[in-house]
Amino acid sequence: MTKKEKVAFVIKTLKELYPEIPIPLDHSDPYTLLIAVLLSAQSTDVRVNQITPLLFAKAKTPEAMVKLSVEEIREIIRPVGLSPMKSKGIYGLSHILLEKYEGKVPKTYEELEELPAVGHKTAAVVMAQAFGIPTFPVDTHIHRLMYRWGFSNGKNVVQTEKDAKRLFPEVLWNDLHLQIIWYGREYSPARGWNIEKDIITRTIGRKSVLKGFNS
């Protein structure tokens, strides 16, 4: 297969597997999505979805969030990990949204990445899922699969994002981002990987990845 044919195979297979694409993090608007994505750093979506209802029952707007103390936020979100940094980030960005953006979540990388505890990936997820702006957020699943499929060198997520945006049509970026995440979880995990279930890697994967399975 040529690389173009491999890309087409990935798009076709993912569309067949995930014609309807669920959003992993529960949210009701751009602000609650921003908070949920921030909380998901080095945690699981399942854990975050267990904690956000508790947090949002107390505060689901910037106005309500700044009425809580950092300590109160930290106590609620403690189970997701990194609670000292995340609680300060949630409190701080809520203040900034009120002071600078009339309580609304901005829509650009530059504005989002200026908020406390908001990095490039968090900004990209919010832009894609809250506003429909084409981005290609790279998490561990996408980074792993882009390497396994021979689409990126695995060097770092910055390079992986560049390669993904170069290979896939922009109109599909937001869907593919989620489809690849679900595929990675269900068919091509980091641990307990069963190559027989992983049709995409089995079909187009790089030789160095498949070597151990084919020997």
The active-site residue, picked from 6, 60, 86, 121, is: 121
- By the 8 A CB rule, do 52 and 11 touch? no
Name all contacts of 64-73 with Cβ < 8 Å and 24+ positions apart: 65/90, 65/91, 65/94, 66/91, 66/94, 66/95, 66/98
The active-site residue, picked from 26, 45, 139, 175, is: 139
In one-letter notation, the amino acid at residue 69 is: S
Active site residue 139: yes
Strands, E assignment, 128-198:
none
The pair of three-digit structure tokens given for residue 115, joined into one six-digit string: 């908020």
52's enclosing H/E stretch is helix 45-58
Active site residue 211: no
Kindly report the number of other CB atoms within 10 A of residue 111's CB atom.
15
**What distances in angstroms separate CA 119 from CA 37, 122, 165, one per listed residue?**
10, 5, 19
**CA dihedral sign of residues 75, 122, 118, 149:** positive
- Which residues are known catalytic residues? 121, 139
